[in-house]
Amino acid sequence: MKSVLVNPGLPAAPVDIEEDDLRRELGFISLAYPFDDPVCLVHDDDGIANHRAPNRTVNGMIIPGPFYVLGVSCEGELLSLSPALQEKYLKVFALPETFPPGQWKVATTIQEDLHGVYVRIDTSWIPAEEDPGAEDPAEEES
Half-sphere exposure of 110 (CA within 13 A, CB side): 2
Q: pLDDT at position 122, please?
A: 62
Q: pLDDT at position 78, please?
A: 92
Rounded Cα distance, 15 and 68, in Å: 9
What is the block-wise mean pLDDT of the chain (142 residues), using blocks of 10 residues? 95 94 83 90 84 86 91 91 97 90 65 67 65 48 44
Beta strands in the chain (DSSP E): 2-6, 13-16, 29-32, 39-44, 54-58, 61-64, 67-72, 78-79, 102-113, 116-127
Rounded Cα distance, 85 and 26, in Å: 22
pTM of the model: 0.74
Buried b (16+ CB within 10 A) or exposed e, 97-129: eebeebebeeeeeeeeeeeeeeeeeeeebeeee
Segment 112-135, tens digit of pLDDT = 777 676 665 566 667 676 655 545
Q: pLDDT at position 140, please?
A: 45
